Amino acid sequence: MKKLISVLLAVMLMAGIVPAAVAEDNTYSSLYSGEISTLNYLVTTTTNEFGLCANLIDTLVEFDRYGSVKPSLAESWTTSEDGLTWTFNLRQNAVWVDAAQNEIAKVTANDFVAAAQYILDAQHASSSANILYDNIVGAKEYYDGTATPEEGKEPAPVMEWDTVGVKALDDYTLQYSLLQPLPYFLSMVDYVCFMPVYAPFLEEQGENFGAATGNDTILYNGAYVLSEFAPQERRVLTKNAKNWDADNVTIDTLEFIYNKEASTISAELFLRGEVDSAAIDQAIATEWLADPEKADFIRPERPSSFYSYFFAFDFDPQFDAAYEPENWAKAVVNENFRKSIYYGLDRLKAKLVADADNAEALLFNSITPTNFVFCNGEDFVNMGALKEITALGTGVFQPDKALEYAEKAKAELAAEGVTFPIKVLFPYNPGSSGWDEECQVIEQQMEELFGVDYIDLIVEAGPSSGFLTAVRRSGNYAFLKCNWGPDYSDPQTFTDPFTEGNSYQFAYRNPAMDEIMQGYYDLVEKAKAITDDIEARYLAFTEVEAYLIDHAIVVPYGFGSGGYTASRIDPFTTPYTSAGISIERYKGAVLLDAPMNTDQYYDAMDQWNADREALGE
């Protein structure tokens, strides 16, 4: 820390700032602005929530910093010749502890069975249940038997648990029976629905299990325990000394401090030495890069995740009458209207807000990100029906074409009684750096293109905490930037946001969309059924994705990361993977004495790429 302290002192003394003492111990601190709503990892699929739990609960396998799968709670595994049965041999030195690190019990195969049974009880409304019942023998039938039937319909038969293909053969042997071979199954088990739970504790807690009220509503077997948790104040994660792999947990304490203005004040607090990372928006980056001393504090943000960002239309608006939800509902089902937005949105101009230096590299025209999965050395997004869409690059933005579709939409919608301009409620999360400015850029760009007599984009701040619940999941928007992270390494994972029951664009709720969405569902089922030929499977999923894009159900955007960051963590020591939750873990991360600068970042990236390539030789 000595180098960092001396540089910070010089900068702050010149600025007249008296710096706070910088901790010499192995502690990493940062700010956060969005509070979690649950610690129940068996029901959530929200990144903010499972990103925390990924550090508290271990999975069967994990991924290292090069993206290689490694044993975790499972020491080894075997697959049957037909690929339908996976058997995991669990380690016998993994234990459950409470927040004070008192040992409670051994981790056994029964804990994975208990978790699966909980998730497959429809009354618990687990967001990840579909991953189990789409792939595990007997899981759908069991799930249906626990569901409350719709009014006027007969309940599904109640099934016994032993009909489900999740079994503990003994205390340390776990077996999954699949409906079809899944070559990517190992990437799938690094996800929340394959996490274990200690059944006696789950039963004891009942509905209180995972309540976000304190650190005593779950048990821990991961790299850290939640030693302190005061909602909307702070979270402290302390290294779990009883974790089976504690020797490879290099940061002793993770301290996260709540502040609803985190995105705007973290840079200043970083300069004061009060936090170890900071959000650096384009304005701050420009200022710091022009200052020889501050320039040494920041580096490019590593695009280490495969989250896909896209703009979603809400087909079942639930927003306030002032924004004319009935008018929007008529407009959004018109394909020419949606296509006018699709071709009329200048995504490059919007992305410049996040990264003025490298915006084009952050864009992609598909829903599945570039470099996510490959077949015979070819990127999925360059295959089949997606090839021409990808090749367009920034050429998706076609103002003349957008105006042509707008003219068609005007005539059709006017005949249906739609009034103009069409109000477009376009909310953002104020806790996310630069999102407000991005929305304003899009508002100005699109209203200039179409004219304010066609659309009226209404940019409005949502809550910084509970944004997803209050906005996206509630249908409290017309047009919204959304994201989806892959749960496993297969293109199928990027169909999940658009299936019936999702909370992304609600097309399944609008009868006017039934025909189009049924066509989509049919293509998905056709692609899912191909399990013995990866190339044919991938080509089928390009048809699935191209269908959504051709009908402008959503507007693809690109990667969410980019720009610059200030951080004392070496980004090339953290877990790396295209799917699952390992990428959210701090296990193995190295805390530097001083923040990595841009030159050091590119040197480290070159070394990481060389090392990773050598592993594949």
Q: What is the pLDDT of residue 426?
A: 98
Q: What is the pLDDT of residue 520?
A: 96
Checking DSSP bridges between strand 479-484 and strand 308-313, what pairing results, if any? Answer: antiparallel
Which range is most confident: 66-70, 372-376, 445-449?
445-449
pLDDT-based confidence at residue 201 (cuts at 50, 70, 90): very high
Q: What is the pLDDT of residue 356?
A: 80
Phi, psi for residue 287 in degrees, rounded to 5: -65, -50
pLDDT-based confidence at residue 3 (cuts at 50, 70, 90): very low
Q: Is residue 413 a contact partner of residue 457, using CB atoms and an 8 Å limit?
A: no
Query: All domains of the chain, ordered by start, with CATH?
Result: 2-33+259-303+584-615 (no CATH), 47-226 (3.90.76.10), 308-558 (3.10.105.10)
Q: What is the pLDDT of residue 106?
A: 98
CA distance 406 to 337: 6
CA distance 424 to 324: 9
pLDDT-based confidence at residue 20 (cuts at 50, 70, 90): very low
281-306: pLDDT as tens digits: 888 988 999 998 899 999 988 866 68
- DSSP percent split of the chain into helix, strand, coil, nearest 5: 40, 20, 40
How big is the chain by its Cα radius of gyration, in Å? 25
H helix intervals, 290-359? 325-332, 335-344, 347-351
More confident position, 485 or 332: 332
Mean residue pLDDT across the chain: 92
pLDDT-based confidence at residue 9 (cuts at 50, 70, 90): very low
Span 305-318, average pLDDT: 92
At 330, list the tokens.
């008529």
Specify the range with the lowest mean pLDDT, choosing from 353-362, 396-405, 573-582. 353-362
577-603: pLDDT as tens digits: 888 899 999 999 999 999 999 999 999
Span 497-516, average pLDDT: 90
Q: Is residue 20 a contact partner of residue 273, using CB atoms and an 8 Å limit?
A: yes
H helix intervals, 481-513? none
More confident position, 126 or 183: 126
pLDDT-based confidence at residue 231 (cuts at 50, 70, 90): very high
Q: What is the pLDDT of residue 301?
A: 87
Secondary structure of residue 130 in the 3-state scheme = helix
pLDDT-based confidence at residue 1 (cuts at 50, 70, 90): very low
Phi, psi for residue 558 in degrees, rounded to 5: 150, -160
CA distance 312 to 302: 26
Checking DSSP bridges between strand 455-461 and strand 422-428, what pairing results, if any? Answer: parallel
Q: What is the pLDDT of residue 277?
A: 95
Of 232, 263, 240, nearest to 465 (Cα)?
A: 232
pLDDT-based confidence at residue 151 (cuts at 50, 70, 90): confident
At 27, list the tokens.
């502690």
Span 560-570, average pLDDT: 87
Residue with tokens 């376009």: 426
Q: Is residue 22 a contact partner of residue 6, using CB atoms and an 8 Å limit?
A: no
Specify the range with the lowest mean pLDDT, choosing from 114-123, 216-225, 504-513. 504-513
CA distance 253 to 27: 5
Q: What is the pLDDT of residue 445?
A: 98
Q: Is the pLDDT of residue 256 over 90?
A: yes
DSSP annotation string for 545-601: HHHHHHTTSEEEEE-S--SEEEESB-TTSS---SSSSGGG--TT--B-SS---HHHH
Q: Is the pLDDT of residue 24 over 60?
A: no
Whether the model pTM is above 0.85: no
pLDDT-based confidence at residue 25 (cuts at 50, 70, 90): low
Q: Is residue 271 a contact partner of residue 12, using CB atoms and an 8 Å limit?
A: yes
Span 325-354, average pLDDT: 96
CA distance 339 to 321: 25
Q: Is the pLDDT of residue 118 over 80?
A: yes
Q: Is the pLDDT of residue 575 over 50?
A: yes
The length of the chain is 617
